[in-house]
Structure 1
Amino acid sequence: MNPAQIFEKLQALPPDKQAEVFDFIEFLASRSPTPSDREVAAEDWNNAGFSQLSMSQAMRGMEDEPSLYSLDDLKERWG
């Protein structure tokens, strides 16, 4: 179906149904990312970047906490 066929069918509908079609098109457009949104998402959120961000957020504030254990607390040492 090409845009001209869609337009013809839309023109044949009563005004209230045309408004429904328009609302549905807006709904679909709001759920679908635009090409520029997909490019930004691909550039900004690769797996390594997301992993680094999530780890930094999880560890946020922990650098100020006192160390609970020392090397003397280890039962076995490797390497």
Structure 2
Amino acid sequence: MTTEEAIIERLKSLPDVARREVLDFAEFLAARTQEHEARAEETQWSDLSLSSAMRGMEDEPEIYTRADLKESFRGRRA
């Protein structure tokens, strides 16, 4: 017996009020799954966008050195 068949058999023995609860829970699970999949897809697009934006940066010459940063912060502490 498959899971689907077992669920259907169990539902047949439940009163209508309990069946409605099962339906509500199934709809909740479906919505949660859909939301999780949408969030995962959004994360994938975000990662792709970030990697595209950063592509090739390691080959660019460094404009500032650590000394430049230290000098900048030293002037602001006063």
Compute the TM-score of the two structures, normalised by the length of structure 2: 0.49
Which structure features the higher share of helix residues?
Answer: 2
